[in-house]
Protein backbone atom coordinates (compact mmCIF):
# COMPACT_ATOMS: atom_id res chain seq x y z
CA UNK A 1 0.00 0.00 0.00
CA UNK A 2 1.31 3.38 -0.98
CA UNK A 3 1.65 5.78 1.87
CA UNK A 4 0.44 8.96 0.25
CA UNK A 5 1.69 12.18 1.76
CA UNK A 6 0.06 15.54 1.62
CA UNK A 7 1.83 18.26 -0.30
CA UNK A 8 3.73 20.35 2.26
CA UNK A 9 3.71 23.31 -0.11
CA UNK A 10 -0.06 23.20 -0.29
CA UNK A 11 -0.91 24.12 3.27
CA UNK A 12 -3.26 26.97 4.11
CA UNK A 13 -3.98 28.95 7.21
CA UNK A 14 -7.01 27.52 9.03
CA UNK A 15 -6.62 24.10 7.45
CA UNK A 16 -7.78 21.38 9.82
CA UNK A 17 -5.71 18.23 9.52
CA UNK A 18 -5.83 14.73 10.89
CA UNK A 19 -2.54 13.29 12.11
CA UNK A 20 -1.35 9.71 11.73
CA UNK A 21 -0.62 9.44 15.43
CA UNK A 22 -2.53 10.93 18.35
CA UNK A 23 -1.23 13.85 20.39
CA UNK A 24 -0.31 13.15 24.01
CA UNK A 25 -3.88 14.19 24.90
CA UNK A 26 -5.36 11.64 22.49
CA UNK A 27 -6.50 14.17 19.90
CA UNK A 28 -5.93 13.66 16.17
CA UNK A 29 -7.18 16.96 14.80
CA UNK A 30 -5.13 20.12 14.48
CA UNK A 31 -5.71 23.53 13.00
CA UNK A 32 -2.99 25.38 11.11
CA UNK A 33 -2.40 28.75 12.74
CA UNK A 34 0.90 29.88 11.28
CA UNK A 35 2.69 29.34 8.00
CA UNK A 36 6.39 29.84 7.63
CA UNK A 37 9.49 27.70 7.51
CA UNK A 38 7.80 25.93 10.37
CA UNK A 39 4.09 25.29 10.42
CA UNK A 40 2.34 26.22 13.63
CA UNK A 41 -0.75 24.29 14.62
CA UNK A 42 -3.09 24.05 17.55
CA UNK A 43 -4.44 20.78 18.89
CA UNK A 44 -8.23 21.01 18.70
CA UNK A 45 -8.55 18.67 21.66
CA UNK A 46 -6.30 20.30 24.25
CA UNK A 47 -5.42 23.63 22.65
CA UNK A 48 -1.68 23.15 22.79
CA UNK A 49 0.38 24.76 20.08
CA UNK A 50 3.33 23.15 18.33
CA UNK A 51 5.62 24.06 15.48
CA UNK A 52 6.87 21.56 12.93
CA UNK A 53 9.18 21.96 9.94
CA UNK A 54 7.18 21.47 6.72
CA UNK A 55 8.86 18.16 5.92
CA UNK A 56 7.92 16.68 9.28
CA UNK A 57 4.46 18.18 9.09
CA UNK A 58 3.87 16.41 5.76
CA UNK A 59 4.98 13.08 7.18
CA UNK A 60 2.77 13.35 10.22
CA UNK A 61 -0.40 14.53 8.58
CA UNK A 62 -2.70 11.81 7.32
CA UNK A 63 -5.29 13.96 5.60
CA UNK A 64 -7.01 17.31 5.43
CA UNK A 65 -10.31 17.40 7.29
CA UNK A 66 -11.21 20.86 6.05
CA UNK A 67 -9.40 23.46 4.02
CA UNK A 68 -8.81 27.07 4.85
CA UNK A 69 -9.48 29.78 2.29
CA UNK A 70 -7.14 29.91 -0.66
CA UNK A 71 -4.48 32.53 -0.25
CA UNK A 72 -5.51 35.64 -2.18
CA UNK A 73 -3.29 36.40 -5.15
CA UNK A 74 -0.60 38.92 -4.41
CA UNK A 75 -1.32 42.10 -6.29
CA UNK A 76 1.47 44.59 -6.72
CA UNK A 77 1.39 48.08 -8.14
Residues forming the site for Zn ion (CB under 5 A)? 23, 25, 27, 43, 45-46
With respect to Zn ion, which residue has the nearer C-beta, 41 or 43?
A: 43
Find the shortest distance in angstroms from Cβ 28 to Zn ion: 9
With respect to Zn ion, which residue has the nearer C-beta, 10 or 14?
A: 14
Distance CA 5, CA 54 (A): 12
Find the shortest distance in angstroms from Cβ 13 to Zn ion: 20
* Strand ranges across the sheet with 29-34: 49-53, 38-43, 29-34, 16-19, 61-66
Find the shortest distance in angstroms from Cβ 55 to Zn ion: 22
With respect to Zn ion, which residue has the nearer C-beta, 43 or 61?
A: 43
Distance CA 13, CA 33 (A): 6
Q: Are 46 and 21 in contact (CB under 8 A)?
A: no
Amino acid sequence: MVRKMIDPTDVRLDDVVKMRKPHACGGFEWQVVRLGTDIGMTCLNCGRKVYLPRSRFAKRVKTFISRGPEAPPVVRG
